[in-house]
Amino acid sequence: MSVPAELRYTEEHEWVAIDDDTASVGITDYAAGQLGDVVYVSLPSVGAAVTAGDPCGEVESTKSVSDLYSPVDGEVVEINEELNDDPGLVNAEPYGAGWMFRVRLQAGPGGETELPPGLLTPAEYEELTKSAG
Amino acid sequence: MRAVHERLGATMTEFAGWLMPLRYGSETAEHNAVRSAAALFDLSHMGEIAVTGPGADAALDYAVCGWPSALAPGRARYTMLCAPDGGILDDLVVYRQAADRFLVVANAANTAVVLGELRERCAGAVVQDETEVTGLIAIQGPNAPGVLSRVTDLPLDGLRYYAGAYGTVGGCPAWVARTGYTGEDGFEIFCAAGDTERVWTTLAEAGRAGDRDGAALPAAGLAARDTLRLEAGMPLYGNELGPDVTPYEAGLGRVVRLDKPGDFVGRAALAARAAEGPRRTLIGLVARSRRVPRHGYAVLSGSGEVGVVTSGAPSPTLGAPIAMAYVRTGATGPFGIDVRGKTEPADMTELPFYDRRKQR
């Protein structure tokens, strides 16, 4: 199971990569492994407002369906259209071609972008998956 | 077998007190391997109960709703153990291994119930639980006869569907039956528990020998087994079958042999149910959207709820979500399924969703 060091994580098993004012979001290798083969991903629409901790999509696998939560506040600026034809990318490359959506982060009063509190470091996330068994 | 599965990278799951492989890698790939080539399953969790003695045939005729005494030695039948009220306590495969020996294969979660009922109902026969001393390996898929024929002394051409014979596999004594739960040709191999690993390894190696890529006979887990049986329209106890369901509702009235002589447990109730007709009917649904109907979701028609999904999954073969559901008898479509608050349209279809005789 891989937990890349440059990413931040949520307790709901999303990863988030910050590049300037844009956050890319997907689900972790651990989550993909637990779900089994992903067969369909329902993503938010481009332009939709998302709120950290709120569901904004669904991930269907053979055995189950899980809500997809946004790790950040902001506006969806891009979604991974390739998942529509090839949802298996989520299993094959959860941190690469299996990314799900990008969000433009809301600027704070001083123009700076802030991450919501509560995102996990790689070490914290790894700890979480271990305690989950 | 646990070490074998873990070496293969299995994700294990607890099932009816047994730790069993759920999947080894991609369950979709395992599913497709069974449809297009073959795969191996460890089914050691299934219950095996032997009913033996000169009175075994008559005892079983009373205990189950089928007609085991009419089976010739070497033949098998799908049947059910019903309660006095006609409800289903388990669905079973009964093999007549000899004139005075029957092997009853029960679902893992129901083995204790079946054992208890058979002990009570089968006066005049010896009922023994052989689950712990029996291993069960299945090889399923169109390549199964080719692979198995390399490592068994049995002439498989003479072994018909729902027939079984004693022989050897990899030198181990085994009861080899042409049965399965996948909708494909294949075999179930019952052996001594201590021989399970050797039978498995022998078959895995025979599969590799027939294919230069070495991937001709992958291991498949319970996840693939579930989607395979669903495509084949086969019921699963706890989903389509249960104590509140009669065989008629499940579309399996043919397994109730009201034409056999003598009384059997549930006869009066089942005869009444046969006469009045089922209040609900098991149907197949193919979803038009990609959101998957799951167990327990409501089936809608018009503005009302007319039934409930019993099993649902994305079908690798059809490329769409499929489901079995009980609906009020006579309910007509167009049907929808309440998928977490949003109604998704679904088309009723005849079961099974997949029939290998029509595909090839």
Per-residue pLDDT of B285-339, as tens digits, reads 999 999 999 999 999 998 799 999 999 999 999 999 999 999 999 998 899 999 9
Closest approach of chain B CAs to the CA of A62, in angstroms? 6
Inter-chain CB proximity A40 and B290 less than 8 Å: yes
B312 in Cβ contact with B268 (< 8 Å): no
Provide Rg for chain B, Cα atoms.
21
Q: Is the pTM of this model over 0.90?
A: yes
In the prediction, which pLDDT does B210 show? 64
HSE, side-chain direction, 13 A CA sphere, residue B150: 13
- Which residue, among B54, B51, B55, has the nearest Cα to B126 in the 3D structure? B51
In the prediction, which pLDDT does B215 show? 55
Per CATH, the number for B279-360 is 2.40.30.110
Q: Hey, what domains does chain A have and what are their CATH numbers?
A: 8-108 (2.40.50.100)
In the prediction, which pLDDT does A23 show? 96
Instruction: Label each residue of B91-134 as H, E or C.
Output: EEEEEEEECCEEEEEECHHHHHHHHHHHHHHCCCCEEEECCCCE
In the prediction, which pLDDT does B209 show? 78
Look up residue B157 and give its two tokens: 């051409």
Mean pLDDT across A88-107: 95
Look up residue B168 and give its two tokens: 């050897």
The CATH-assigned architecture of domain B2-43+133-230 is 2-Layer Sandwich (3.30)
Of A60, A62, A65, which has the smallest distance from its Cβ to B27's Cβ? Answer: A62
DSSP character for B293?
P
Report whether pLDDT(A133) > 70: no
CA-nearest residue to B227 within chain A is: A62
Closest approach of chain A CAs to the CA of B239, in angstroms? 14
Low-confidence ranges of chain B (pLDDT < 70): 210-215, 359-360
- Beta partners for B91? B80
In the prediction, which pLDDT does B40 show? 98
Distance CA B71, CA B105 (A): 16
* Mean of per-residue pLDDT scores for chain A: 93
In the prediction, which pLDDT does B164 show? 98
Provide the terminal-to-terminal Cα distance of chain A, rounded to the nearest Å.
13
Closest approach of chain B CAs to the CA of A36, in angstroms? 7
Residue A101 burial (CB count, 10 A): 25
Inter-chain CB proximity A40 and B26 less than 8 Å: no
**Would the CA dihedral through B269, B233, B5, B217 be positive or negative?**
positive
The CATH-assigned architecture of domain B47-129 is 2-Layer Sandwich (3.30)
- A66-78 tens-digit pLDDT: 999 999 999 999 9
